[in-house]
Amino acid sequence: MPYVANTSTDEREMLAAIGIDSLDELFAMVPADLRLRRPLDLPPALTELELTQHMHRLAGRDLPAGQANCFLGGGSYDHFIPAVVDALAARGEFYTSYTPYQPEASQGNLQVFFEYQTLITRLTGMDVSNASLYDGASATTEAVLMALAATRRRRVVTFKSVHPEYRQTLETYFDNLDAELVTLAAPAGSADLATLSAAIDDQTACVLLQQPNFFGAVEDAAAIAELAHAAGAVLIVVVDPLSLGVLARPGDYGADIVAAEGQSLGSPLAFGGPYLGILACREAFVRRMPGRITGQTQDRDGRRCWVLTLQTREQHIRREKATSNICTNQGLLALRATIYLAALGPAGLREVGELCLQKSHYALQRLTSQSPFAPAFARPFFKEFVVRSRDADVESLLQDAAEAGVFAGVPLGGWYPELSDCFLVAVTEKRTREEIDTWATLLHTIATSAEPAHA
């Protein structure tokens, strides 16, 4: 039978099995001008030994953030992970943890999810938590969709101080929704109450706030809650879970729905994912909450057991009538968060928060004690802050620092053109005084030896 010149015996057999004569016929639906008319330009094949060595050489060219002097933040953080988290989460019965569609056969996983939900509600001050979502961005968007459905209003007010990628995710959803997204400026690095008051009306479904915000600043959350509730709107707060060791719980200052990125609770940076979406709310919103909710009950013999509850909200049951298209959860990451929170306890969580607070303030003072750098905003902060570079180009500055083995911060110009001379710094409990001093000295050295940014 006809076939292209380089077709192997196995390929000819597969073509025959599907009833066609050639590879050209298989790809006939691809326009001719888009087809590659030559063999792929690939190097000679390697043996397994050679390939393994080659891959190790390539991997050795990277410096993982966890092995560097790392001050990266903006939603992903280099926090310490106790050994117990890896030891338990790596057990075979948990390692493939996933959504149980037959709850009676998954009692171990369901118990973990129940414990996770309990810890999250205590951490946030909310009444109910689901068994997790994909990440902070999806949790934030689902929180907004909950508010739209609950209030039957179509206006959402948020701030530029909310994580820009979370807002981008929200904007993607809003392209196909009959809803309006109003984003207020944050020129001083935080929400302006007067501007917010003028922006809220009787069509506002919710106010979306981040606490601490993307710039690391602590917002006046209680005052924002009062403004939102006075207009009959829902207050959604995106939190850093580890900040709740030292800052007020969102439930204590009036939040109605809480979303968060849970990566800092025992999960590594992992080159950007997978991560953990946290979503919790007051009981009034529970039937609008997407995803899994695990409940505790008794079996027919009176023994404690766990089930998936309120499942009629879910996509795998109601499909087009469901609260959301999300019908799964990040089981393994939720397990890691559960182990992490249980291992630390309230005192440990508070200690981690206090260390982040103290070390970040020392780092800012250390860096800005000399002229090349200055704080961008005069706001209280938890573990992140924004630095303005008076002379050196920020992108070049951070690249030079990375080449010296220090991940010195995140440039902000890509998200905020008006802050192209600024970078975001995160200081976790892992950073030592020596590492902070090395970071500050290196940045001063690079900045003072570089050509001025405006030259």
State the CATH number of the domain containing residue 191: 3.40.640.10
Answer yes or no: are the C-beta atoms of 110 and 307 closer than 8 Å.
yes
- Quick check: 148 pLDDT over 80? yes
Q: Which of 276, 273, 257 is nearest to 323 (CA)?
A: 257
Q: In angstroms, rounded to a whole number, what is the distance separating the alpha carbons of residues 279 and 258?
A: 6
| Residue 369 within any structural domain of the chain | yes
Q: Where are the alpha helices (DSSP H) in 265-330?
A: 315-318
What are residue 264's DSSP bridge partners? none
CATH of the domain at 371: 3.90.1150.10
Q: What is the pLDDT of residue 85?
A: 97
| Residue 47 within any structural domain of the chain | no
Question: pLDDT tens digits for 196-229?
Answer: 999 999 999 999 999 999 999 999 999 999 999 9
Q: What is the pLDDT of residue 370?
A: 78
Q: Is there a single domain that holds both residue 190 and residue 281?
A: yes
The whole-number average pLDDT for the span 416-437 is 97
Q: Is there a single domain that holds both residue 141 and residue 230?
A: yes
> Which pair of structure tokens corresponds to residue 4?
């292209």
User: What letter represents residue 303's amino acid?
Assistant: R
Domain termination residue (choose one: 308, 341, 374): 341
| Residue 48 within any structural domain of the chain | no
Q: Is there a single domain that holds both residue 445 and residue 428?
A: yes
Q: Is there a single domain that holds both residue 268 and residue 187?
A: yes
Query: What's the domain count of the chain?
Result: 2
User: What does the angle CA 451 – CA 365 – CA 73 come to, to the nearest 5 degrees?
Assistant: 75
Q: In angstroms, rounded to a whole number, what is the distance separating the alpha carbons of residues 363 and 105?
A: 51
Strands 204-211 and 257-261: unpaired
What are residue 375's DSSP bridge partners? 387
| Residue 420 within any structural domain of the chain | yes
Q: What is the pLDDT of residue 388?
A: 97
Which residue segment(s) compose the domain that 358 sits in? 65-77+345-449
Domain termination residue (choose one: 311, 341, 371): 341
DSSP H/E element including 446? helix 433-449
Q: What is the pLDDT of residue 3?
A: 37
Answer yes or no: are the C-beta atoms of 121 and 380 closer than 8 Å.
no
Q: What is the pLDDT of residue 410?
A: 98
Q: In angstroms, rounded to a whole number, what is the distance separating the alpha carbons of residues 354 and 366?
A: 18
Domain termination residue (choose one: 341, 368, 385): 341
| Residue 58 within any structural domain of the chain | no
The whole-number average pLDDT for the span 227-239 is 98
Give the burial string for 88-102 (b: 16+ CB within 10 Å, else e): bbeeeebeebebbee
Span between the terminal Cα atoms of the chain, in Å: 69
Question: pLDDT tens digits for 278-304?
Answer: 999 999 999 999 988 999 999 999 999
| Residue 296 within any structural domain of the chain | yes
Question: pLDDT tens digits for 261-271?
Answer: 999 999 999 98
- Quick check: 105 pLDDT over 70? no
Q: Is there a single domain that holds both residue 369 and residue 318?
A: no
- 3-class DSSP state for residue 367? helix
Flag the least confident range among 70-84, 87-101, 172-186: 87-101
| Residue 405 within any structural domain of the chain | yes
Q: Which of 266, 244, 260, 259 is nearest to 337 (CA)?
A: 266
